[in-house]
Amino acid sequence: MGAAMHLPDVVPSRMRRTLPRTRRTLPRTRRTLIGLLVLVTLTAAGCAQDASRSQDNGGADTSTNDSTVTTDAPVTLTLLAHDSFTPSETIFDAFTADTGIVVRVVRGGDAGAIVTKAVVSAGNPEGDVLWGVDNTLLSRAVDANVFTPYVTVHRDDLDAAGVALAPDGVVTPVDSGDVCINYDKQWFAERRINPPLTLQALASANYRNLLVAPSPLTSSPGLAFMLASIAEFGDEWTQWWTTLRDNGVLIVDSWSHAYYSHFTAASDGERPIVVSYATSPPAEVIFADPRPTEAPTAVAALTCFRQYEFAGILRGTKHEAAAQKLIDFLVSRQFQEDLPLTQFVWPSNRNATVPQEFLDYSLRPENPLILDPTIIAARRAEWLDTFSDVVLR
C-alpha cells in the first residue's frame, strides 16, 4: 500500500496552473497575389489580424520577432514569475525612473508551471523575462531553447557556483536557498524526543507518522527533496522511500499545503516534521507578532539540497535591449538586498548586504546535497515515475 497521499477533492489553483495554457494563434492564409487590389486587401487583413492578436493576449506584446524593436514609445516589459515572487511593491520604481522602462509582473503558478508554459511558448513568449527557473528544471528550459543568452554586467559579482551552472549566460543566477527537513522544536522538547538530524535518521520508526512532504510531481521543493535522497543514497534511494512509505509519510500536493495545513509549528496540523526551507525559521520570527526571541522551528542541516534560481530573457521578445537592462537590475545590489526579507533567499550578488535579522535566524549549510543539472535532465522523468510507483501506488 502506498504512502498517505492527501489531495483535495477540488484541485487547488496552484495545481490548475501547472497545466500548460494553450495560446490562441490566428491562422494566416497564403494566396496567390493577383493584381494590386488583392495585395492591398491581404495587407489590410494582416493588419486586422495583428490587432486581434494583441487583444487576445490582453494587449501584451508577444511577437515572435527575435530582433529588438526600437520605438519612441515607453517600453513595458512583462516579467513572468512563480507565485512566490513577492519583492517590495515599489522595488521597480527606481528602475523605471532611471530607464523609462515599466515592469509588469505576471505570476503563473510554481516553478514547474512557469517552465512548462515557457517551453510550450518557446520563441513566441507570453513575456519578456522569466524569473524562477531553478537548477532542477534548468536543463528542460535550455533544451527547449526558451532563452536568449545575455551576460550581465554584474557577472563578476555573482555567486560563482550559480554562474557555473550556466556559464554561457543563457540564464543569470539571481538567488539561492536550501530545501531541508524542518521540525517543531517545542513538540520534540515536550516529548523529550531527539529530532531527526539526517535523512537516514528520518527513516527510523521513532518518527512514524510524523513527516509531511510535498510531492515531487507537483512541487519544486518536493522535487528537491526527492533529489536530496538520490544525492545521499544513490541507487538505494528507492529503498529509503519505501521505508518512509511504510513509516507513514504523508505526501501532499504543495509546500504551502504541507506547511500551513499539517505542520504543527505553523498550523493546527498533526505533523511536527516538514520538508521546507533553511530560511523558514527566520520567516517564523520576522512575521510573528509579537516577535519571539528565538525561532519556533529548526533545520536539520545534513538534509539540505541546494537550489539556485535563475532569470533569463525569453527568446522572441521584441524588447531585448530593455530586457537586458532588467536582468542587470535584478542582480544589482539594490534589488538583491531586497530579497532576504521578501523572498527569504540568499542574494546571488556577493556585494549585497544581508540584513542582520536574516543572518541571526538563518542556516546556510556548508556542504549541501546537490546533483549535476545534466544528470537531473537525463533521469528526472525516470525518477519521478519510480517515485510514483514506489511511494504513491
Cα(224)–Cα(138) distance, rounded to whole angstroms? 13
142, 284, 286, 357 from 360: Cα distances, Å:
37, 12, 11, 5
Residue 8 lies in a domain: no
Residues 222 and 74 both lie in one domain: no
Residues 152 and 227 both lie in one domain: no
> What CATH number is given to the structural domain containing 219?
3.40.190.10
Instruction: Count the domains in the chain.
Output: 2
Residue with cell 518536493: 222
Pairing verdict, β 129-134 and 147-148:
unpaired
Residue 65 lies in a domain: yes
Residues 264 and 383 both lie in one domain: yes
Residues 66 and 187 both lie in one domain: no
Q: CB count, 10 Å around CB of 76?
A: 16
Q: Residue 180 pairs with which residues in a beta bridge?
A: 276
Q: Report the b/e string of 108-132 with b at 16+ CB within 10 A.
A: bbbbbbbbbbbbebbeebbbbbbbb
For 326, the grid coordinates are 532588467
Q: pLDDT tier at 3 (50, 70, 90 boundaries)?
A: low
3-state SS assignment for residue 81:
strand
Residue 324 lies in a domain: yes
68, 239, 324, 371 from 315: Cα distances, Å:
11, 42, 12, 27
Tell me what pLDDT residue 309 has: 97
Residues 257 and 380 both lie in one domain: yes
Q: Express each pLDDT in 124-160 by its tens digit.
A: 999 999 999 999 999 899 999 999 999 999 999 999 9
Residue 43 lies in a domain: no
- Which domain covers residue 296, as residue numbers? 178-307+365-392
Average pLDDT value for the chain: 85
Residues 303 and 313 both lie in one domain: no
Q: What percent of the chain has pLDDT over 70?
A: 82
C-alpha closest to that of 150 among 326, 340, 293, 313: 313
Model-level pTM?
0.78
Residues 291 and 380 both lie in one domain: yes
Tell me what pLDDT residue 390 has: 98
Residue 45 lies in a domain: no
Residues 184 and 144 both lie in one domain: no
For 128, the grid coordinates are 519578456
Q: Express each pLDDT in 219-242 by its tens digit.
A: 889 999 999 999 999 999 999 999
C-alpha closest to that of 322 among 50, 96, 1: 96
3-state SS assignment for residue 188:
helix
Cα(117)–Cα(299) distance, rounded to whole angstroms? 33
The kind and range of the H/E element at 176 are strand 172-184
249, 4 contact by CB (below 8 A): yes
Residues 66 and 167 both lie in one domain: yes
Residues 313 and 380 both lie in one domain: no
